[in-house]
């Protein structure tokens, strides 16, 4: 089946492991299951669901156990936070809430109480006090002003009314007066209203001030109290003034009322009179005050009669009134008394209140003064105490200072000592190091100097060797300058050069001085010239071969000449390594020597030639000396050059 | 050095010749003068000349080999 369910196979394998083939039925069982096509899909779905559920459950469980994992999951997988929140509750470690908590924690401690509560802020208290005081003072002043204005207005109105009532002014001015009166009345009304409003405002302000003062009194700050006291006093005075103004106004009003009543009565009387007058004289409608020449005599009479009648009536009324006067007066007195009493009570009440207030204020003032005094006293006492305390402290501090100073000095000294020793040590070390370094450097310098010197010496040596070599080369070159038959240049200069160049080289000097004088003075012959000379000498030697010390007559000469003519020897015969007696024959020697000369062995040739005896020897003596000279020189030069080469080799440094 | 031999020979021959001639001439003179033109003084003279020359020559040639001794008297 394509539904290769791995768990199934695993369990299959497991079964196989565990039970081997003992339970084929199980296998069959499984195989039956695996081979079933219809149950395969269901199995897939079931397994898928189980897997999903187990993964989700596992995630949830692990998130419950590890909050960091939970936050990670919530961050990465959307809607997981909803699921996890549902399953486990809110995440205690979520970064957002933590942030919020932090934020709230940060915000809340700053403002634990509501800002407008200024109980703990005396300055603002004072400010509010002052402000309310100022405002209330303003309003009170305004009220008082209004009251005064009202008073004025009332007074003026009353006065004007009185004037209007009593003054006998000509009728044409009466209307003006009445108009004035009306304006005054209107003014009075307005001012009274204003005063009333201002009074209300002032009372409100004073109430607020009182409340503020009360609130201020609750504060325990001492600096506020005198201000509060002052404010209270101000308040009291304002209240008093206000009340005074109000009473004044009220009295004025009462007076005005009386006057107005009076005016009303007067007006009524006037109206009555007018009515009567009009009833009497119906034609005259106009203001009787304005009339002057319009009335006739009858009218006047009627008027006078009416007036008389009216006067009688009034007199009667007056008498009646006088009679009732007492009663009226008593009643009025009673009323007045009552009113007075009321007013008195009120006044007393206000006065008592005022006095109470004053007393309280006085008390408070006294209290504050006392408090101030007390506080001053206390302050002085405290100051004294503080002074004593400071003295005591000063003493103690002095003592302590001494102690500490000594201690510190000790410590300082010890530290200084330590530091000094350390410093000394360091300096010593430094010095030592420096000395060491200097020594090392000096040694190195010395070494270097020596090396340089030795180098210089070596160079010098090399130069000298070079020079020597050069001079030796020059010398050997001079050897070559021998002409065919001429000697070389005198070697003197070259030798001089050598001697100059190796002034402190004994060996070379010795060698240089070992050169024979002749070569120095005259130069030496070259080998070729010697060879050629020898060839010419050879015949001579042959001719005098027989001549020696004993045989040297002319006859011998003749014989030797004969021998030379007749004897033939080899031109050149190779000399044997060892000479025998026979080899000492001149002719043989000559041939040997010739052979050697031909083979450029001058030395051997000279040796052979040296074996000649007798006259032959005498004949070749010159040649022999020359040859010897040449040989010597050559030997010396060879030695010198070898020496120079050796020295040069020795001094040249291999690259 | 070899020239000396030649020189010696030259000298020798010249000397011999001179002596011989001188001898001859003396012989002639003597023969003419004293010996009545006989030839024997000439030959004598020539012989003496030759001999002297020869002897000189020999001596010349020998000269290197001749030893000269000096008597040292005990004093």
Q: List pLDDT tens digits, range A153-184.
A: 777 877 777 776 666 656 667 677 777 778 87
Chain B residues whose beta carbon lies within 8 Å of the beta carbon of residue A553: 58, 62
List, as ranges, residues 4-33 from B with C-beta within 8 Å of A.
Answer: 5
Any chain A CB within 8 A of the CB of B52?
A: no
Work out the minimum CA distance from B34 to partner chain A, whole angstroms.
34
Work out the minimum CA distance from A578 to partner chain B, whole angstroms.
29
Within 10 angstroms of residue B21's Cβ, the number of other Cβ atoms is: 14
Judging by beta carbons within 10 Å of its beta carbon (0-12, 13-18, 19+), is residue A405 exposed, middle or buried? exposed
- From the list A303, A296, A300, the residue with the least C-alpha distance to A279 is A303
- Are the CB atoms for B1 and A620 separated by under 8 Å? yes
pLDDT tens column, A211-223: 877 877 776 665 6
Q: Among B1, B5, B62, whose Cβ lies nearest the Cβ of A552?
A: B62
Work out the minimum CA distance from A621 to partner chain B, whole angstroms.
7
Is residue B73 situated within a structural domain? no
Per-residue pLDDT for A111 more than 70? Answer: no
pLDDT the model gives residue A119: 46
Q: Among A547, A554, A619, whose Cβ lies nearest the Cβ of B1?
A: A619
Give the C-alpha separation, A296 to A14, whole Å. 157
By C-alpha distance, the chain A residue nearest B67 is A549
Chain A residues whose beta carbon lies within 8 Å of the beta carbon of residue B54: 554
pLDDT tens column, A56-98: 999 988 888 888 888 888 888 888 888 888 887 777 766 555 4
From residue A306, alpha-carbon distances to A171, A321, A356, A609 in Å are: 21, 21, 62, 224
- Are the CB atoms for A225 and A122 separated by under 8 Å? no
ipTM at complex level: 0.86
Average pLDDT over residues A578-591: 82
Is residue B10 situated within a structural domain? yes
Q: Among A544, A548, A549, whose Cβ lies nearest the Cβ of B5?
A: A544
pLDDT the model gives residue A3: 47
Per-residue pLDDT for A286 more than 60? Answer: no
- Lowest mean pLDDT segment, chosen from A72-76, A166-170, A347-351, A605-609: A166-170
- Are the CB atoms for A91 and A67 separated by under 8 Å? yes
Is residue B67 situated within a structural domain? no
Work out the mean pLDDT of chain A and round it to a whole number.
77
Per-residue pLDDT for A204 more than 90? Answer: no
Is residue B4 situated within a structural domain? yes
Q: State both tokens at A409.
A: 């000095």
By C-alpha distance, the chain A residue nearest B56 is A554
Is residue B58 situated within a structural domain? yes
Give the C-alpha separation, A619 to A547, whole Å. 11
Residue A189 — φ and ψ, nearest 5°?
Answer: -55, -50
Is residue B74 situated within a structural domain? no
pLDDT the model gives residue A101: 53
Chain A residues whose beta carbon lies within 8 Å of the beta carbon of residue B51: none
pLDDT the model gives residue A183: 82
- Are the CB atoms for A575 and A608 separated by under 8 Å? yes
Is residue B68 situated within a structural domain? no
pLDDT the model gives residue A44: 93
Average pLDDT over residues A285-308: 66
pLDDT the model gives residue A14: 58
Domain membership of residue B4 as a residue range = 1-62
pLDDT tens column, A513-532: 777 777 777 777 778 888 88
pLDDT the model gives residue A1: 45
Neighbouring C-alpha atoms within 13 Å toward the C-beta of A628: 13
pLDDT the model gives residue A107: 46
Number of domains in chain B: 1
Q: With pLDDT > 70 as the criterion, what percentage of chain B qualifies?
A: 97
Any chain A CB within 8 A of the CB of B2?
A: yes
Per-residue pLDDT for A235 more than 80? Answer: no
Q: With pLDDT > 70 as the criterion, what percentage of chain A qualifies?
A: 80
Q: Among A533, A557, A623, whose Cβ lies nearest the Cβ of B61?
A: A557
Contact between A554 and B57 using a beta-carbon 8 Å cutoff: yes
Q: State both tokens at A73.
A: 């999951």
Per-residue pLDDT for A131 more than 80? Answer: yes
More confident residue, B68 or A106: B68
pLDDT the model gives residue A560: 87
Q: Among B1, B61, B65, whose Cβ lies nearest the Cβ of A554?
A: B61
Any chain A CB within 8 A of the CB of B65?
A: yes
């Amino acid at each position: 089946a394509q539904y290769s369910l791995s768990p199934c196979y695993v369990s299959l394998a497991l079964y196989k492991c565990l039970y081997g083939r003992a339970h084929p039925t199980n296998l069959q069982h499984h195989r039956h299951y695996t081979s079933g096509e219809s149950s395969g899909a269901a199995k897939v779905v079931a397994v898928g669901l189980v897997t999903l559920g187990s993964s989700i459950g596992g995630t949830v469980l692990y998130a419950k156990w590890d909050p960091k994992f939970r936050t990670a999951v919530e961050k990465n997988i959307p809607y997981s936070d909803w699921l996890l929140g549902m399953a486990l509750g809110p995440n205690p470690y979520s970064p957002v809430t933590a942030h919020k908590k932090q934020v709230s924690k940060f915000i809340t401690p700053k403002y634990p109480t509501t800002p407008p509560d200024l109980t703990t802020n005396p300055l603002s208290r004072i400010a509010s006090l002052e402000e309310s005081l100022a405002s209330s003072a303003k309003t009170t002043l305004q009220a008082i002003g209004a009251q005064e204005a009202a008073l004025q207005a009332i007074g003026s109105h009353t006065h004007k009314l009185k004037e209007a009532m009593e003054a006998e002014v000509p009728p044409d001015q009466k209307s003006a007066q009445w108009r004035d009166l009306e304006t005054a009345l209107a003014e009075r009304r307005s001012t009274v209203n204003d005063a009333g409003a201002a009074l209300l405002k002032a009372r409100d302000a004073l109430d607020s001030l009182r409340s503020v003062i009360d609130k201020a009194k609750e504060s325990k700050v001492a600096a506020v109290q005198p201000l509060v006291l002052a404010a209270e006093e101000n308040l009291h005075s304002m209240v008093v003034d206000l009340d005074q103004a109000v009473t004044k106004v009220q009295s004025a009003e009462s007076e005005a009322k009386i006057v107005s009543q009076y005016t009303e009565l007067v007006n009524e009387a006037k109206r009555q009179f007018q009515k009567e007058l009009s009833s009497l004289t119906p034609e005259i409608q106009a203001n009787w005050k304005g009339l002057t020449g319009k009335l006739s005599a009858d009218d006047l009479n009627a008027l006078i009669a009416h007036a008389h009648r009216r006067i009688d009536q009034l007199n009667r009324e007056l008498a009646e009134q006088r009679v009732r006067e007492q009663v009226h007066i008593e009643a009025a007195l009673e009323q007045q008394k009552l009113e007075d009493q009321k007013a008195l009570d009120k006044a007393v009440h206000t006065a008592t209140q005022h006095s109470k207030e004053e007393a309280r204020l006085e008390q408070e003032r006294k209290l504050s003064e006392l408090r101030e005094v007390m506080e001053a006293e206390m302050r002085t006492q405290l100051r004294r105490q503080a002074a004593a305390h400071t003295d005591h402290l000063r003493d103690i501090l002095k003592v302590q200072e001494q102690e500490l100073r000594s201690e510190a000095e000790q410590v300082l000294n010890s530290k200084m000592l330590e530091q000094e020793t350390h410093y000394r040590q360091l300096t010593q070390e430094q010095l030592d190091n420096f000395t060491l370094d200097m020594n090392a450097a000096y040694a190195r310098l010395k070494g270097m100097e020596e090396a340089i010197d030795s180098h210089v010496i070596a160079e010098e040596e090399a130069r000298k060797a070079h020079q020597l070599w050069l001079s030796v080369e020059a010398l050997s070159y001079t050897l070559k300058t021998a002409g065919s038959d001429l000697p070389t240049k005198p070697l003197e200069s070259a030798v001089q050069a050598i001697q100059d160049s190796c002034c402190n080289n004994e060996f070379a000097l010795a060698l240089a001085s070992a050169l024979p004088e002749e070569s120095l003075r005259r130069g030496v012959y070259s080998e070729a010239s010697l060879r050629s000379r020898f060839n010419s000498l050879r015949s001579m030697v042959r001719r005098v071969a027989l001549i020696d010390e004993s045989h040297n007559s002319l006859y011998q000469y003749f014989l030797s000449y004969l021998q030379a003519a007749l004897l033939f020897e080899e031109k050149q015969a190779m000399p044997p390594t060892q000479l025998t007696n026979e080899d000492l024959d001149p002719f043989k020697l000559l041939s040997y020597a010739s052979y050697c000369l031909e083979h450029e062995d001058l030395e051997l040739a000279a040796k052979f030639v040296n074996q000649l005896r007798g006259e032959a020897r005498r004949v070749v003596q010159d040649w022999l000396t020359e040859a010897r000279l040449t040989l010597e020189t050559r030997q010396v030069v060879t030695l010198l050059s070898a020496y120079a080469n050796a020295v040069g080799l020795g001094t040249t440094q291999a690259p | 050095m070899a020239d000396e031999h030649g020189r010696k020979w030259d000298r020798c021959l010249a000397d011999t010749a001179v002596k011989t001639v001188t001898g001859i001439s003396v012989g002639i003179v003597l023969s003419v003068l004293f010996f009545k033109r006989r030839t024997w003084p000439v030959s004598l003279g020539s012989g003496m000349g030759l001999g002297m020359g020869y002897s000189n020559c020999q001596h010349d040639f020998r000269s290197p080999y001749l030893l000269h001794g000096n008597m040292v008297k005990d004093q």
